[in-house]
A and B are shown apart, each in its own frame.
Chain A
Amino acid sequence: MKRVVITGAGTINSLGHDVPATLEAMREGRCGIGPLEFRDVERLQIRIGGQVRGYEPEARFNRQQLSLYDRFTQFTLIAAREAIAQSGLEFSGELAARAGVILGNSGGGMTTLDENYRSVYEEGKNRVHPFVVPKLMNNAAASHVSMEFNLKGPSFTVSTACASSNHAMAQAFQMVHGGVTPAMVTGGSESMLCFGGVKAWEGLRVMSKDACRPFSANRNGMVQGEGAGVFVFEELEHAKKRGAEILAEVIGYAMTSDAADIVMPSKQGASRAIAGAMRDARVNPEDVGYINAHGTGTAANDKVESAAVADVFGAHADKLMISSTKSMHGHLIGGTGAVELLACIMAVRDGVIAPTIGYEEPDPECALDIVPNVARDCAVDVALSNAFSFGGLNAVIALRGV
């Protein structure tokens, strides 16, 4: 089996418009969550989110492109451009024929859907723009990445709600690991911060009106974010041969299903995924120094996730660090695992552990070292990234420093 490394990373999210800006914000414990700005926001009860600010689509894309790119596709392309540029790979010939792109996404072109529903239902129009379908389809982002970078191998979109990106990256890892292709582009994106998107989440009554405070006793729900994270996964020898900079090694993953409840998380499902990822990566619990938690800031997730980690790691659970960067960038739903993998890369490469900000009160049911409020310098060998979705579909990815 081939060893798989990450040779490129890209992002745009509420913390920054690229990887350096995002990692700097994570190191400084900055919060990207603020008042939402879009049409009809005053009709929402939930008015905060991790929105990408200071973003001008016209500066990145021409008019023809914008007529075809929903916001989630725009974010994906921006992140993919950064990741592929960093990797230095050019996709042509045999490499282009084998390399593909696998991305996580949950809502598709929610903004496009929202705008066009508004136009036909609210404004009574009977004609919509011809590109509504190609704009809103969930695979639009993956398809546009394949077209812009000439990726002609296996490409598709994975949709497993909040675990979409981790499931996508696990697939991409497996393809490089198994020798199907020397390189894959992978990650995920989401952009649901529009009236209909937030209104739907509001209905579930799991959203916070003031802040995302994972693991804190006074936490009161999740806060949505938006953006994208994209990576280049490459076979180790292929990367070494061309002298590429290696950001981290992907050493394993596991996927499990709770087979229990459509919204409530399960401790068994989560712990089986965490233990499975360590088994796949052939690491012992003591090797794991950092976990990027799913850590949504809901009462149920944080309690169940803490219990799962305590079960899997035993006494080592008190020694490892676990933080939820959702406290800073919000919950990117289908794109969240991709942005959170950046915190794992920072941990194993730079020895900097991103904090859980907004932490105010200890919760005895979440009694782990959650790196409260301030980032920490600490060398870490192995990091895990947890993602547990609505519908009980879990995926955990393991990284090692190089």
Chain B
Amino acid sequence: MSDIQNRVIAIIAEQAVLEPADITMSSTLEDLGIDSLGLVESIFAIEEEFDINVPFNANDPQESDFDISTVASIVAGIGNLVKEQS
């Protein structure tokens, strides 16, 4: 899990132009200054990194089967997807 966490945080940090150490598990994407384009780019980078499909619909992020409310929820979601899709 911590390997996934580190890799997800590295991707989010790059997108936010921050150091990984500046990202906490309770940070929201908004806190980190990641806008809607930054979000889809992060999801793309995560899909590439883990070779998974993330069920995220930018038209209605709330309705997606993927919780992006905090870094912790994203890491947990990726963890599940990696398990399901591997």
Contact = CB atoms under 8 A, between A and B. Distances in A.
Interface of A: 64, 67-68, 127, 129-131
A67 B43 CA distance: 15
Nearest to B43: A130
A293 B59 CA distance: 49
A130 B47 contact: no
Contacts of A131: 37, 41
A127 B40 contact: no
Chain B residues touching A, majority SS: helix
Residue among B17, B40, B41, B43 with the highest chain A CB neighbour number at 10 A:
B41
Interface string B1-22: 0000000000000000100000
B48 A130 contact: no
A68 B41 CA distance: 11
Q: Which 6 A-B pairs have the closest CB atoms?
A: A130-B40, A130-B44, A130-B41, A129-B44, A127-B47, A67-B41
A373 B48 CA distance: 53
Residue among A67, A130, A131 with the highest chain B CB neighbour number at 10 A:
A130
Nearest to B14: A63
A127 to B, nearest CB: 6
Chain A residues touching B, majority SS: loop
A288 to B, nearest CB: 49
A127 B44 contact: yes
Nearest to A128: B44
A255 B43 CA distance: 47
Nearest to B40: A130
Contacts of B37: 68, 130-131
Contacts, number: 15
Interface of B: 17, 37, 40-41, 43-44, 47-48
A347 to B, nearest CB: 44
Contacts of A130: 37, 40-41, 43-44
15 contacts: A64-B17, A67-B41, A68-B37, A127-B44, A127-B47, A127-B48, A129-B41, A129-B44, A130-B37, A130-B40, A130-B41, A130-B43, A130-B44, A131-B37, A131-B41
Given A68-B37, A130-B43, 13 more contacts: A64-B17, A67-B41, A127-B44, A127-B47, A127-B48, A129-B41, A129-B44, A130-B37, A130-B40, A130-B41, A130-B44, A131-B37, A131-B41
Nearest to A68: B37
Contacts of A127: 44, 47-48
Nearest to B17: A64
A68 B40 CA distance: 13
Contacts of B43: 130
A129 B47 CA distance: 10
Nearest to B15: A64
Nearest to A62: B17
Contacts of B41: 67, 129-131
A64 B43 CA distance: 15
A110 to B, nearest CB: 22
Contacts of B40: 130
Nearest to A125: B48
A129 B46 CA distance: 11
B58 to A, nearest CB: 8
B42 to A, nearest CB: 9
Contacts of A64: 17
A23 B34 CA distance: 43
A130 B15 CA distance: 14
B43 to A, nearest CB: 8
A130 B58 CA distance: 11
